[in-house]
Structure 1
Amino acid sequence: MLRLRVPHSVTLHRPVPRFGVLFTALPVASRMNATHVLAALVVGIATGFVFAGLRVPLPAPPSLPGIVGIVGIYVGYRIVEATGVGFDLLSWLGLG
């Protein structure tokens, strides 16, 4: 059986407040930065031009519902992270 060893000084879960706006529960480094969002948009547009120019398929869902689904996955992850709701699957399986 494979067991992962984590030093006791390593904290795997940080306490998260159960109130407030979603982004107040995120650490400062994780909060959105408009410059990073704009840079990501510009790089994404440039990458789209390159993929279209080379006539290769996009490495992303080709329709708006697929993209909205990806955004939904991200929002759901952040909600669970902010509320502290979760289940330790590895411990339940005896691996953690």
Structure 2
Amino acid sequence: MKNKDLNLLRLLVILNEEKQTILAAKRMNLSQPTIKCENILATLPPLLTQLDKLYPDNTQWDISQLNGDLNILISSPLIPILGSQLIKKLTLRLLN
């Protein structure tokens, strides 16, 4: 797996604050040619699109529309509290 340099995101913030690559490079202890602002800016739109897809606008979810498997992870201490009620509710929704 290729290592990702999260300092590039920090650099983008500093570039935004300083508005000059020379000052940003100084703050990051980098030489100006090592600043990769254009590369960062080119990768941010697709990254932000992917992040947006993680949080869909639709807050309601219809289990009857589910295709395939459903995996629900519940912390061990919560299983006795939530497990049986959750299974009952999911079963009723599937039967209706």
TM range, normalised to the smaller chain?
under 0.3
The TM-score normalised by the length of structure 2 is: 0.28
Counting helix residues as a fraction of each chain, which structure ranks higher? 2
The TM-score normalised by the length of structure 1 is: 0.28
Higher relative contact order (CA 8 A, sep 6+): 1
